[in-house]
A and B are shown apart, each in its own frame.
Chain A
Amino acid sequence: KQEVTQIPAALSVPEGENLVLNCSFTDSAIYNLQWFRQDPGKGLTSLLLIQSSQREQTSGRLNASLDKSSGRSTLYIAASQPGDSATYLCAVYQGAQKLVFGQGTRLTINP
């Protein structure tokens, strides 16, 4: 059974810092991996999707990497801003359609 773990569970940093969020998964037989952002009481906003054959994806200040063999992914956020405060969820596509989510990292950027 696939398990997705995100570390840390919560993170608080001052504005302007670069930071890394970690995601690990137990079964390396995944199709894709996706990072989402969720604001309190809201739905999910897709940030980056990394296909199984890719090693990283970049969008603006965000960079996500994928190492299938070690079962790890990282989300790098450069020059953090207070508007980046949210919960970040990592999810893996297991068996093509089934998404398995981690518990999330609650990020707070302090002005």
Chain B
Amino acid sequence: GAVVSQHPSRVICKSGTSVKIECRSLDFQATTMFWYRQFPKQSLMLMATSNEGSKATYEQGVEKDKFLINHASLTLSTLTVTSAHPEDSSFYICSAESASGRANKFSYEQYFGPGTRLTVT
């Protein structure tokens, strides 16, 4: 249970174009999804938190007009990198929190997708 998928797993795009990454919770409903970025040999950094049906909350330093997040349903969130540049090349990982998984206030847990490798040329 608690499987999260991402598509595509790898994408190469030209500078100036936009690319969309999908994150899906396959066997549970996710009220909240999270997007992380990981640069080579570095740890994961939270980019934004999205709740189904509402606007995403972005972390400090993350451009909301560049990284568009849509959480249109309880099983799908998308991240669109607009006007991509080589410095946007990174490993993007999403996670999802189960709507029913919060049995008590101590039981928060995020389930992670396999990641998407974005290369901007």
Roughly how many angstroms separate A44 CA and B6 CA in the complex, as a whole number? Answer: 13
Most buried by B among A46, A97, A102: A97
B115 adjacent to A43 (CB under 8 Å): yes
Say yes or no for A31: interface residue by CB 8 A criterion: yes
Q: Which residues of A contact B107 (CB under 8 A)?
A: 32, 51
For window 21-48 of chain B, which residues contact chain A by CB distance below 8 Å? 32, 34, 42-46
Say yes or no for B117: interface residue by CB 8 A criterion: yes
Q: Which residues of A contact B32 (CB under 8 A)?
A: 97
Say yes or no for A53: interface residue by CB 8 A criterion: yes
Q: Which residues of B contact A34 (CB under 8 A)?
A: 109
Q: Which residues of A contact B115 (CB under 8 A)?
A: 42-43
Interface of B is mostly: strand
How far apart are B104's CB and chain A's nearest CB, in angstroms? Answer: 9
Are A31 and B43 CB-contacts (below 8 A) given A42-B114, A97-B32?
Answer: no
Interface size class of A (residues with CB under 8 A): 20 to 34
Roughly how many angstroms separate A91 CA and B45 CA in the complex, as a whole number? Answer: 11
Can you spell out 19 A-B residue pairs with CB atoms less than 8 angstroms apart? A31-B108, A32-B109, A41-B91, A41-B117, A42-B114, A43-B6, A43-B93, A43-B112, A44-B93, A46-B109, A46-B111, A89-B43, A93-B108, A98-B49, A99-B95, A99-B110, A101-B44, A101-B45, A102-B43
Given A46-B112, A97-B32, 17 more contacts at CB 8 Å?
A: A34-B109, A41-B117, A42-B114, A43-B112, A43-B114, A44-B44, A46-B109, A51-B107, A53-B106, A97-B97, A98-B46, A99-B34, A99-B110, A100-B46, A101-B45, A103-B42, A103-B43
